Structure 1
Amino acid sequence: MLPTTLRDGAYLPKRVKEEIDFDGPIERGAKKMRAQRVQEFLTLNGFAVSVDGDFGPATEKRVRDFQTARGLPATGVVDIKTHEELVAPIVKALNPIAAGGKSLSTLAAAYAKQHIKSHPMEAGGDNRGPWVRSYLDWDGKDARWCAGFVCFALEQAAHTLGGQLPIDSSSSCDVLAMEAKTAGKFVPESRVKSGAFAKKDLVPGSFFLVRKVPGDWVHVGIVTAPSKESFDTAEGNTDSGGSSNGFEAAERARDYRSKDFIVW
């Protein structure tokens, strides 16, 4: 059963539905993913517990703590009301934004900012947790999810507008760059630096790519506001230092050095 707070028109691929669907009460003794998701969502909501896929006494206590904090009966059992509270941050990020004349690009930026309000974070280890699986359909040490984050926002925008994606989604920065080149939507740093491409045309929703060396990009995010010497961003799998393997989605500011762009 999907949360009642999920509004009609939301973009809901199967991988995300699996993260937020309620398939019955979860209590002490539950194992594997049923227990793991409870532990991850508790942690994401500020009630940290070991994420080991074993619903034992510590998990039960944290469920009771969470229920008490949310004004629910402290049973230690994840019923439908508790489940809805646990998954609420993801549901808020999924809920549709009215198109209101917005372009694909500006709507993608709006969705990215909506996600950041729910503070997507890893849970249970490096590149792990419900947010990562929602963006990529898998998680684990090598699940760099920056590309998944930006592509999901673009997918939401295309879904809302009833249109097609301008390029295929990918979990790889390099693949996104190559697809954008093929589609004629890639803008190299040299064109921006020379003024051949005006910075003002980096409209909200454009992608930026952090270039390590020519032909190799290590991070991608969404431009939300360009200016003369820097631009504001919404990006996933980053941290306060702008790492390409951080732990959260956040708004940042970046300069134009070693950046290429994809413009819709």
Structure 2
Amino acid sequence: MIKKQYLKEIAIASTQQRHGNSNTTKDVNKIQSWLNLYAITHPSAGTATGIDGDFGPATETAVENFQIAKNLPQTGVVDNNVFAKLCEPMVNAFTTPVQGNGLRELIVNTALQHLSNAPFELVIKGQSNSGPWVRAYMDNNEGTPWFWCMGFVQTIIDQAASQLGKDFRTLMPLTYSCDTVGTTGINKGLLTRYAQVRTNPGIVKPGDIFLLQKTPNDWVHTGLITGVHGELFETVEGNTNTDGSSNGNGVYKRVRNFQSSKLDVFSIQPLV
């Protein structure tokens, strides 16, 4: 893969614990982040805690609660084994081999694999669009200005293409910008405008990218098309929510009506 930031998100330098001599702010932040991500999908586990880089009594208790939930020895200490359990969702999303017949199916199945591991953002020090998943998709960038929908799309395509020995950058530049990909699509003749999509939806295939158009040269959100049914796209999208926001909190499977929304489509066919 080209985008390898995830490797840094699934590792700590040394054991972290309350009053630990080897504690580092960076690693404690990771631990606290993963504790909070676990709390999002297991709200009764008691693992939600502040993300401040300080391994204090609250973090220790949150770790103990996580260990209880995972049937681990209740030590309050995070060694490599405990941390591996904390970041297991990301390990599963990025390293489990994906099955698929060709690139398009691999893209769809990779997106679904990430979705099944519940990627969510966190708010850290008042900044949304933060946390391990955002950094993994955005090559270590995070914070409120860093909308991560394109980072998610390109990560999924990169992961799928790398299984076939392909470099996604032959299709588009590495970017976090919907506008850059939209402009690339125009210049390469790969972008189908929403009016044509509405007239001839058969040209859209699973694995293609939708770009939500604000104006003809301004796109505000993106995602991967996983299916086309009637006047609907099934999608997997990052940085959205149940309302379809372009600045939401996680990865969601959605249904979008392309007859009522301005959804331009970028074809991945040259990479196939």
- Alignment-mate amino acid for residue 78 of structure 1: V
1:73 aligns with 2:73: yes
Q: Structure 2 length normalisation: TM-score?
A: 0.88
- Output the CA distance in 2 between the equivalents of 1:230 and 1:57: 50
Unpaired stretches in structure 1, ≥5 consecutive residues? 1-10
- Residue 194 of structure 1: how far off its partner (Å): 2.9
Could you say if the C-alpha distance between residues 180 and 105 of structure 1 is closer, same or farther in structure 2, counting changes exceeding 3 Å? Answer: farther
Distance 1:185 1:99 in 2: 26
Give the letter aligned to residue 156 of structure 2: A
RMSD, matched Cα: 1.5
Which of 10, 15, 37 is matched with 1:20 structurally?
A: 10
Q: Deviations over 1:17-52 (max 9, x none)?
A: 111123220112434211110000001111211111
Aligned ranges 1:42-81 → 2 under 5 Å: 42-46=35-39, 47-81=47-81
TM-score w.r.t. length of structure 1: 0.90
Residue 130 of structure 1 and its aligned partner are, at CA, apart by 0.1
Pairing of 1:201-216 with structure 2 (within 5 A)? 201-216=203-218
Map Cα deviations across residues 82-119 of structure 1 (whole Å, 9 max, x no partner): 1110010001101243455x222221111111100001
Q: Which residue of 1 aligns with 2:256?
A: 254
- Distance in 2, matches of 1:158 and 1:136, equals 18
Residues 186-216 of structure 1 show CA distances to partners (whole Å, capped at 9, x for unaligned) of: 1111211233xxx233211110011112211
- The unaligned stretches of length 5 or more in structure 2 are 40-46
Q: Secondary structure at the match of 2:234?
A: strand
Aligned-pair identity in percent equals 36
Q: Distance in 2 between matches of 1:128 and 1:145?
A: 10
Deviates more, 1:161-170 or 1:66-75: 161-170
Q: How does 1:130-209 map to 2 (within 5 A)?
A: 130-137=132-139, 138-165=141-168, 166-195=171-200, 199-209=201-211
Shift of 1:242: 0.2
Residue in 2 aligned with 1:222?
224
Contact 1:223 1:231 in 2 (8 A): yes
2:6, 2:90 within 8 Å by CA — same for their partners in 1?
no
Using a 3 Å threshold, how does the CA distance of structure 1 residues 96 and 168 change in structure 2: closer, same or farther? farther
